[in-house]
Amino acid sequence: MKPRPSFPARLDATLAKTRPNPHGAVVSTAVAASKSVAQAALAKPTVVPTARAKAPLPHAPHMPQGHGMDSQAVRQRMVQKLAGQGVTDPLVLGAMGAIERHRFVDSALVNQAYEDTSLPIGLGQTISKPGVVSRMIELLRNGATGRVGRVLEIGTGCGYQAAVLSLVADEVYSIERLRGLHDKARENLRHLRLPNVHLLFGDGMAGYAKGAPYAGIIAAAGGEAVPQAWVDQLVVGGRLVAPVVTGGGTQALLVLDKTPQGVRQTLLEAVHFVPLKSGIA
């Protein structure tokens, strides 16, 4: 067992003080009691666990069936395509096959859920393409055979990538700056009961220092540069994968390795992500 920083224990202590709200979600009493949730979040992101009980299976058999997307076969076809595009990490391919992407998009878009395309999720944001999600998570894992340690995701969106990450990492902290999407992700993830996913509402530009250090940081929104806070919150030996704006307003995938000798950065292929923005809304 790898030694783990004391943070989860302290977080659990905080969560022990949580109470269920009428909709069955869990809210932090500290935040619920404050006058302005938004103001509280500015100072300190809200931690919302997606499940209280441990449940091993990442599927939801009690959900409505019958639109043809419930079949494992449709996901397996997607996984084969991802493998054909060069994704080889068995844990990543397994996770992509297990998480039902159609449950994260609007019903009108369900038929496109297993195509390699980004789709709108509201508030001008998108769920990333499966090809990009699997590529970035494979890069993040950097050849690990088992699960990687604690991971921070910037840009929860609808929660899809957080769900995939939950199957390949020990703990997932995912932060979103738009309240509407943070709530949507909480709703989407509730049925999956993923006890190792922690949703945060706040500005991910500052990372989430309380969870640091992270074995991996993955961003789903692209800025001009990688915020120093992200690098600071990465463990030595950890890896960050993020879209960054390059010349001419285009974006490319950046892989940043934090080594004992310093930071090593590698720019990879062009990508198209929504912009990384400051503040919360």
Instruction: Name the active-site residue from 128, 134, 166, 174.
Output: 128
Element (H, E) at 61: none
Residue pair 244/270 in contact by the 8 Å Cβ criterion: no
Q: Which is nearer to ligand SAH, 54 or 275 (CB)?
A: 275
Axis-axis angle for helices 130-141, 90-98 (nearest 10)? 140
One residue of 18, 46, 50, 126 binding ligand SAH per CB under 6 A: 126
Contact segment (CB under 6 A) with ligand SAH among 39-47, 56-64, 92-100, 118-126 equals 118-126
How does strand 148-154 pair with strand 169-176?
parallel
* Identity of the residue numbered 125: Q
Residue 276 per-residue DSSP state = P
Closest CA to 211 of 241, 182, 233, 238: 233
Site string for ligand SAH, 142-171 (x = CB under 6 A): ------------xx-xx-xx----------
Question: Degrees (nearest 5) of the Cα angle 108, 73, 71?
Answer: 50
Distances (CA, A) of 97 to 76, 90, 149: 6, 10, 21
Please work out the total of residues on this chain that contact ligand SAH, with binding judged by CB under 6 A.
24
Q: How far is the CB of 273 from ligand SAH (least distance, A)?
A: 7
Examine the residue annotation and report whether 71 is marked as an active-site residue of this protein: no
In whole angstroms, the minimum distance from the beta carbon of 161 to ligand SAH comes to 4
Among 27, 96, 221, 256, binds ligand SAH (CB under 6 A): 221
Q: Does residue 181 interact with ligand SAH by CB under 6 A?
A: yes
Binding span for ligand SAH by CB under 6 A among 1-9, 43-51, 90-98, 270-278: 270-278
CB 174 within 8 A of CB 164: no
User: Using the rule CB under 6 A, is 100 a contact of ligand SAH?
Assistant: no
Helices and strands in the chain: count of H runs, count of E runs: 9, 14
Contact between 222 and ligand SAH by CB under 6 A: the answer reads no
Residues that bind ligand SAH (CB under 6 A): 121, 125-128, 154-155, 157-158, 160-161, 175-178, 181, 203-205, 220-221, 274, 276-277
**Catalytic positions, please?**
128
